[in-house]
Amino acid sequence: MNSNLENRFNEIEQLALKMGLDPFPVLYEEVPREIIWDVASYGLPTRMSHWSFGRSFLHQKMSGEMGYSKIYELILNNNPSYAFLDDTNSDVINLLICAHCYGHSDFFKNNICFAKTNRNMVNQAERNAKIIDQYKDKYGVDTVEDWMDIAFALDNHIDPVLGEERAKYPEQEYVTREIAPLPYADLHGDDNKPRVVTRLNNENFPPWKEKDILWFLINYSNMQPWQREVFSLIRSESYYFHPQGMTKIMNEGWASYWHAELMNNYENLTPAEHLDFSKAHSGVVSPGHGGALNPYYVGFRILRDIKERWDKYFEEGKKDAAFQKSEHNEMRDEKGNIVMSKIDGSAKIFDVRKNDDDVSFIHNYLTRELAEDMKLFTYGLKGETENPDEDAIILKDRELHVVREGMVSRMYNNGVPPIVIEKVDDKAMHLLHEAADKGPLDEKYTKETLKYIQKAWKKPIILRTRDRYGRELKYKSADGAVTTETSKDGDSKRIMVEL
């Protein structure tokens, strides 16, 4: 990076701090685009080798070389944050990216979803890669990668509430305690003394519905130590990446909002550079195409709307002496709409940045007026038939609650079906697809994933879910095959699929 550009980066950093951002230090490095494709594919500069990352790299490379997409930058949640710049970027693009990265780093540092993430994962992932390479040398590449396939198939089935570090379940044991005698025991001929009761503590296994399937297998399956460590390393990295999926819209919206604010307040832009910036910015926050909304656009528009609305509520609140003396920070009308606030738009968006994820962000702050202005709607199949290929795709709804739910439906549980371990007995592990009414499981992926779990658990796996018509559906994986059983009006249909 030339000294002039480095000086301008420092000026933007000082402006970011002055305007209230609180990022980690950001280290910038200009690299060939192949390096950026590599980091984007692996998620980190150095990470354990796996065929799926190579497939992702090939996709990035083909898209970039054919002109379908370009990654201008990539920044990592780390302290300090590492940002990689495409060495073909113009100075104006790099200035925009610099401002954008300070927004990202501020978000990484302060959003609640990232609070427990490993801020040294760049170095940790390098150590993990060395461990995996040692196992490949000792046990063979195919053997280790087969076990990695199982872990990566389950790496989104974790529990961010209980977190990465947690103790095993309480041991099952018989507990004896005294309880009061029954009322009027002496009248019934019973001894009027305290009764001694013995019962099994933690009788059910697991004692609650277990969401972290990887954790359960690590702690309770019969596997070799190296296999257990492979699972543990992949699970640890999954907890690092999980918040990024939960906050894609907010994170990109926050970075886009702040690159616009910083660049518009940066005094050392020439008129020509400002014109180039405006053109680049409009491309970053364009609505999207091909039926997919651009997360940069959605996040940027909602944050800007929050800022404008709370500035208005703040001005209204200052006019009301009774409200200023009250203990409440907000006042609402009879319909529940906010009409006054004691915090302005700037304070509000920083509060949102700290406490929300994409689901709450959309639910709480996408208004009817903004949805209409953005021309948002849901779409789907025209009808429900036995042959969905014959159904036409049509506009379904523009109602706000339907649009909101349509946007966040794929965000719940980080976009993966909520599968929990319901119970384990001597015969099988029983899985439950919670919220099965939200949509059916993909049959191909379900069967392959059950095969993976069975390989790690070494006993049959039974999964309860529902098909697209709401009928109860059971998958059972055992002895190299998966059977499916669908119930309707008391009837059952059984299909055998050889794997």
Pairing type for strands 419-424 and 393-397 reads unpaired
Number of other CB atoms surrounding residue 467 within 10 Å: 16
Q: Are residues 239 and 260 in the same domain?
A: no
Which residue did the predictor score with more confidence, 470 or 103?
Answer: 103
Whether residue 499 is predicted with pLDDT greater than 60 in this model: the reply is no
- What pLDDT does residue 479 have? 81
- What pLDDT does residue 401 have? 81
Q: Do 153 and 451 meet the contact criterion of CB atoms below 8 Å apart? A: no
Q: Are residues 312 and 231 in the same domain?
A: no
Q: Are residues 130 and 241 in the same domain?
A: yes
- What pLDDT does residue 376 have? 84
Q: Are residues 299 and 349 in the same domain?
A: yes
Tell me the backbone φ, ψ of residue 325, rounded to 5 degrees. Answer: -85, -15
Does a structural domain hold residue 400?
yes
Q: Are residues 271 and 361 in the same domain?
A: no
Buried b (16+ CB within 10 A) or exposed e, 309-325: bbebbbeebeeeeebee
Sign of CA dihedral 333, 337, 339, 343: positive
- What pLDDT does residue 95 have? 96
Tell me the backbone φ, ψ of residue 101, rounded to 5 degrees. Answer: -70, -35
Q: Do 428 and 460 meet the contact criterion of CB atoms below 8 Å apart? A: yes
AA identity, residue 65: E
Q: Which of 358, 382, 408 is the last residue of a domain?
A: 408
Q: Are residues 225 and 255 in the same domain?
A: no
Give pLDDT tens digits for 38-81: 998 989 999 999 888 877 767 666 766 655 566 778 999 999 99
Whether residue 409 is predicted with pLDDT greater than 60 in this model: the reply is yes
Does a structural domain hold residue 311?
yes
Query: Would you give the distance in Å from CA 176 to the centre of its chain?
Result: 44
Confidence of residue 271 (pLDDT cuts 50, 70, 90): very high
Whether residue 355 is predicted with pLDDT greater than 80 in this model: the reply is yes
- Considering 66-70, 286-290, 330-334, 411-415, the range whose residues carry the highest mean pLDDT is 330-334
Structure tokens at 73: 């930058």
- What pLDDT does residue 458 have? 93
Residues 6+ apart with CB under 8 A from 380: 393, 394, 396
d(CA 473, CA 458): 23
d(CA 445, CA 447): 6
Does a structural domain hold residue 326?
yes
Q: Calculate mean pLDDT across residues 145-166.
A: 95
Buried b (16+ CB within 10 A) or exposed e, 348-359: bbbebbeebbbb
Give pLDDT tens digits for 106-137: 999 999 999 999 999 999 999 999 999 999 99
Q: Are residues 381 and 421 in the same domain?
A: no
Confidence of residue 491 (pLDDT cuts 50, 70, 90): very low
Give pLDDT tens digits for 421-435: 999 998 999 999 998
Domain span at residue 126? Answer: 121-169+207-245
Confidence of residue 448 (pLDDT cuts 50, 70, 90): very high
d(CA 250, CA 61): 27
DSSP 399-467: -HHHHHHHHHTTTGGGGS--EEEEEE-SS-EEEEETTGGG-PPPHHHHHHHHHHHHHHH-S-EEEEEE-
Structure tokens at 477: 């994986």
Tell me the backbone φ, ψ of residue 248, rounded to 5 degrees. Answer: -55, -50
Residues in the chain: 499
Q: How far is CA 248 from CA 234, 374, 466, in A?
A: 21, 19, 29
Q: Do 415 and 245 meet the contact criterion of CB atoms below 8 Å apart? A: yes
Confidence of residue 389 (pLDDT cuts 50, 70, 90): low
Q: Calculate mean pLDDT across residues 286-290.
A: 78
Give pLDDT tens digits for 2-43: 889 999 999 999 999 999 999 999 999 999 988 998 998 989
SS3 for 196? strand
Query: Would you give the distance in Å from CA 72 to the centre of its chain?
Result: 23
Q: Calculate mean pLDDT across residues 157-161.
A: 94
Q: Which of 353, 384, 408 is the last residue of a domain?
A: 408
Whether residue 493 is predicted with pLDDT greater than 70 in this model: the reply is no
SS3 for 494? strand
Q: Which of 408, 443, 477 is the last residue of a domain?
A: 408
Domain tally, the chain: 4
Q: Do 48 and 128 meet the contact criterion of CB atoms below 8 Å apart? A: yes
Q: Are residues 102 and 149 in the same domain?
A: no
Q: Are residues 216 and 160 in the same domain?
A: yes
Does a structural domain hold residue 237?
yes
Does a structural domain hold residue 289?
no
Does a structural domain hold residue 196?
no
Q: Do 60 and 40 meet the contact criterion of CB atoms below 8 Å apart? A: yes
- What pLDDT does residue 65 have? 62
Q: How far is CA 58 from CA 53, 54, 64, 171, 268, in A?
A: 9, 6, 10, 48, 39
Q: Calculate mean pLDDT across residues 162-166.
A: 94
Structure tokens at 499: 């794997």
- What pLDDT does residue 77 have? 97
Q: Quote the mean pLDDT of the chain.
A: 87
Does a structural domain hold residue 371?
yes
Confidence of residue 258 (pLDDT cuts 50, 70, 90): very high
Confidence of residue 497 (pLDDT cuts 50, 70, 90): very low
Give pLDDT tens digits for 220-235: 999 999 999 999 999 9
Instruction: Report the range of poorest mean pLDDT among 42-51, 354-363, 366-375, 399-408.
Output: 399-408
Query: Would you give the distance in Å from CA 93 to the centre of its chain?
Result: 28
- What pLDDT does residue 492 have? 40
Q: Do 37 and 61 meet the contact criterion of CB atoms below 8 Å apart? A: yes
Whether residue 94 is predicted with pLDDT greater than 90 in this model: the reply is yes
Q: Are residues 51 and 127 in the same domain?
A: no
Whether residue 475 is predicted with pLDDT greater than 50 in this model: the reply is yes
- What pLDDT does residue 181 have? 66
- What pLDDT does residue 187 have? 55
Q: Are residues 105 and 215 in the same domain?
A: no
AA identity, residue 243: P
- What pLDDT does residue 47 have? 94
Percentage of residues in the chain having pLDDT higher than 90: 68
Does a structural domain hold residue 181?
no
Q: Are residues 130 and 146 in the same domain?
A: yes
